[in-house]
Structure 1
Amino acid sequence: MSADTLILLLAYDRGLGLDALTRQRTKAAVPFGGKYRVIDFALANCLHSGLRQVLVLTQYKSHSLQKHLRDGWSIFSPELGEFITPVPPQMRESQDWYAGPFDAIRQNRYLIERNRASRVLVIDGGAIYRMDYAELARAHEESQARITVAVRAVTAPGSDTQARVAADENERIIGLTLAGDESSAQMPAAEHLETMGVYLFDKACLLEQLDRIERGMRPDQDLALDIIAPLVQTEPVMAYRFGQTRGRVTPDRYWCDLASIDAYYQANMALLRAEPPLDLYQSDWTILTYQGQYPPARTVPGATSGNEGVFVNSMLAAGTVIRGGGVNHSILFPRVQVRDGAIVEASILFDGVVVGEGAHLNRCIVEKDIEIPPHARIGFDLKRDRERFMVSEEGIVVVTKGRSVSGDPA
């Protein structure tokens, strides 16, 4: 299975909806869930599915991502034909950067041609989900498809980031449109299906499209809408339904493309539910990542107050110390320090954040290595916060580097 499928993992996207978190990193490298990076979920799917020939197409501010791949994912054996290889634009035929997903594939045609695999799986490295790609490949073979598109059922149409799918009773796709446009409104409405950034091509079919579509002939923003949609009338393009009982991963049917700060915040907070929608604890489908060699997280009494450090319904990564402060319903990445009397509520603190004595954070996302001054209050006066920070539509305050974090005194 591994030798017959080449993975093209698209990780060049900045992620415009996450602009406050992608100023120094690509979307795929954004921290998630207390210790992971977003790309870890797609790579873990590849690993557990037995697909171990992975080309990671990088571009925008890729250093953080490449470092993470080196430190956390140097686990495959080249001697066995396994690899995870970052591929920035090679500019073999022009001096252009990747202009879109199809152009990124086009620029790496030579890597596809020289690989012996008969199939090419193109996946978005900026989404959070767990999926058995091996089962997708089996369905592709059984249906004799030339292209298989992973789809998920949604309660109502309207996503502005994914294409809406219409399929017949045999799961053959008969229409692909952007949810919300006029043609989408006329599509069958018995159920609502949307793409999820996972496309399996017969290699011969993909190479035919590279030959057919010259550079600049059509828009190149979305593989489903710009490349696959025109083919549904002439090629067997099949839908593969996400979350089937077939396959080895628990069918939790969770998928999120983190299209905004609010979506990112909600996806992280959902992990704190008593029964989270995304199961990170399935023992045979673990999510691998890089973890620094830090000491265990702990709580200690405050040096001044003598109060015990406390955390409630929170995730604490290695190296985190709560010194007489309190943490409630929050996610703390490695090496976070919460000082005496500080309170952190419903917040996400990235690696190395220090919360000063008596400071109070509420519904915040704090970028790595930022020090919150003593007695600062952030997340309580959104009008004041908007003058200094980015504040989302739902009132999440994002504290980034280069901004004053003095806060209002308690």
Structure 2
Amino acid sequence: MSTVLSVILAGGAGKRLQPLTLRQAKPALNFVYRRRIIDFVLSNLWHSGFHQLLVLTQYQPYRLHKHLQQHWLARFKPHGDLVLHQAPAQLITGTAGAVARELSLIRDYQPQHVAILSADHIYKMDYRQMLQFHLQQQADVTVAAIAVPIDNASQFGVFVVDDKQRITGFIEKPKGAVPQMPGRPGFALVSMGNYLFRTTVLEQALHQAQPGIELDFGHHILPQLISEDRCSVYDFSQNQLPGTQSLPHYWRDVGTLNSYFASRLDILSHPDWLQGSGQSWPILGRRSCTERLSQAGSALLTKHSKSWLSAIRPLAPSQYQHALYC
């Protein structure tokens, strides 16, 4: 989708996941079956056709950058672009402040809409459906949300919505009573940390950002826009994926050691949800030897199509196992 630029927030230190994050950023953590945490959002973007990506990093980014350059850059490059931008380690920005630093670059892409996505959540989602809802609502910003039991809602940002899915209120990690979903007692609608902005609205909202002052979407930007009646909420339960999903509408914020290991057990118990020949929405990870050889061969053939290299032909699938050990 050339009209959408996806900005991935991947710079958090993940202090609650220490010691796992002492030497690498949380999105770079190994999760299951050779997948890293960031592979989930990247796979969703790939399958959704959102191929213009800006990945914002900051804390301990070396392994994260290496993984993206080796296994994701070549996937997105033929169809769009994947650009990495690293902020200085000592800089304090907040989620919205990090995006504000890149406004000039965002303008260069000239997108109609900007998706702001977290890099450290475990889920599957077709972002095209969220975009369609966003356009139907004619919203300035749409936020993805999921229903959770009210006993667990206090650790998230909770929405108050009307019957048209317009956001009328937002409470960040409520200390008192938690607003319940209309028609679904015992559950609250909480933010998944995924935003879809009209670009002009995002620019206006981030105009207040100042260097060295923390600015967050949840704490600062969203309440301001809600007061102007310009926000909608997209219910994650409405998102439909092709094929059979053994963990339908699964979403976990793996910000703590308990949630990280609990989510790993969930996925390990449902390997068919992650991958397999029958999985229509697989979570991609490290590029296989076959994929890398195929892409390298295609690039060489394209570049040297009039030379002796044009005589080279890819190996048949049955021959790959004898060609090279990777």
TM-score over 0.5 for the alignment?
A: yes
2:85 alignment partner in structure 1 = 87
Q: Among residues 128, 143, 153, which one is paired with 1:149 in the alignment?
A: 143
- Counterpart secondary structure, 2:73: coil
Q: CA deviation at 1:238?
A: 0.3
1:17 alignment partner in structure 2 = 16
2:297 alignment partner in structure 1 = none
- Post-superposition Cα deviations, 1:93-149, rounded to whole Å, max 9, x if no partner, equal xx9625211110111011111112110000000111000001100100011011000
Query: 1 or 2 for the larger relative contact order (CA 8 Å, sep ≥6)?
Result: 2
- Counterpart secondary structure, 1:171: coil
1:105 alignment partner in structure 2 = 99
Aligned residue type for 1:16: K
Question: TM-score with structure 1 length normalisation?
Answer: 0.64
1:265 alignment partner in structure 2 = 261
Q: CA deviation at 1:179?
A: 3.1
Q: Give the Cα separation in 2 of the matches to 1:276 and 1:292.
A: 18
Q: CA separation of 1:243/1:277 partners in 2, compared to 1, >3 Å: closer, same or farther?
A: farther
Q: CA deviation at 1:245?
A: 5.0
What percentage of aligned pairs have identical amino acids?
A: 27
- Counterpart secondary structure, 1:3: coil
Q: CA separation of 1:245/1:149 partners in 2, compared to 1, >3 Å: closer, same or farther?
A: closer
Q: CA separation of 1:175/1:108 partners in 2, compared to 1, >3 Å: closer, same or farther?
A: same
* Aligned counterparts, 1:201-220, within 5 A: 201-211=197-207, 213-215=208-210, 220=215
- Counterpart secondary structure, 1:243: helix
Q: Among residues 173, 179, 186, which one is paired with 1:187 in the alignment?
A: 179
Aligned residue type for 2:84: P
- Counterpart secondary structure, 2:18: helix
Q: CA separation of 1:76/1:292 partners in 2, compared to 1, >3 Å: closer, same or farther?
A: closer
* Aligned counterparts, 1:166-185, within 5 A: 166-182=160-176, 185=177
Q: CA deviation at 1:280?
A: 4.0
Aligned residue type for 2:179: M
Q: Give the Cα separation in 1 of the matches to 2:256 and 2:9.
A: 19
Q: Give the Cα separation in 1 of the matches to 2:272 and 2:17.
A: 22
Q: CA deviation at 1:230?
A: 2.3
1:346 alignment partner in structure 2 = none
| 2:123 counterpart of 1:123 | no
Aligned residue type for 1:187: P
Q: Give the Cα separation in 1 of the matches to 2:275 and 2:223.
A: 34
* Aligned counterparts, 1:359-370, within 5 A: none
- Counterpart secondary structure, 1:187: coil
- Post-superposition Cα deviations, 1:174-213, rounded to whole Å, max 9, x if no partner, equal 111123324xx263454411101100000000001122x2
Give the conservation status (yes or no) of the 8 Å contact 1:4–1:118. Answer: yes
* Aligned counterparts, 1:7-406, within 5 A: 7-76=6-75, 78=77, 80=79, 82-89=80-87, 97-159=91-153, 161-182=155-176, 185=177, 187-188=179-180, 190=185, 191-211=187-207, 213-215=208-210, 220=215, 222-244=216-238, 246-248=240-242, 250=245, 252-273=248-269, 275=270, 279-281=274-276, 283-290=279-286
Aligned residue type for 1:272: L
- Post-superposition Cα deviations, 1:377-396, rounded to whole Å, max 9, x if no partner, equal xxxxxxxxxxxxxxxxxxxx
Aligned residue type for 1:266: A
Give the number of the structure whose alpha-carbon radius of gyration is greater. Answer: 1
Q: CA deviation at 1:161?
A: 4.4
Q: CA separation of 1:197/1:186 partners in 2, compared to 1, >3 Å: closer, same or farther?
A: closer
Q: Give the Cα separation in 2 of the matches to 1:196 and 1:49.
A: 18
Superposed CA RMSD in Å reads: 2.6
Q: Give the Cα separation in 2 of the matches to 1:263 and 1:245.
A: 23
Q: Which has the higher helix share?
A: 2
The aligned length equals: 284
Q: Give the Cα separation in 1 of the matches to 2:15 and 2:154.
A: 13
Aligned residue type for 1:181: K
Q: CA separation of 1:15/1:269 partners in 2, compared to 1, >3 Å: closer, same or farther?
A: same
1:364 alignment partner in structure 2 = none
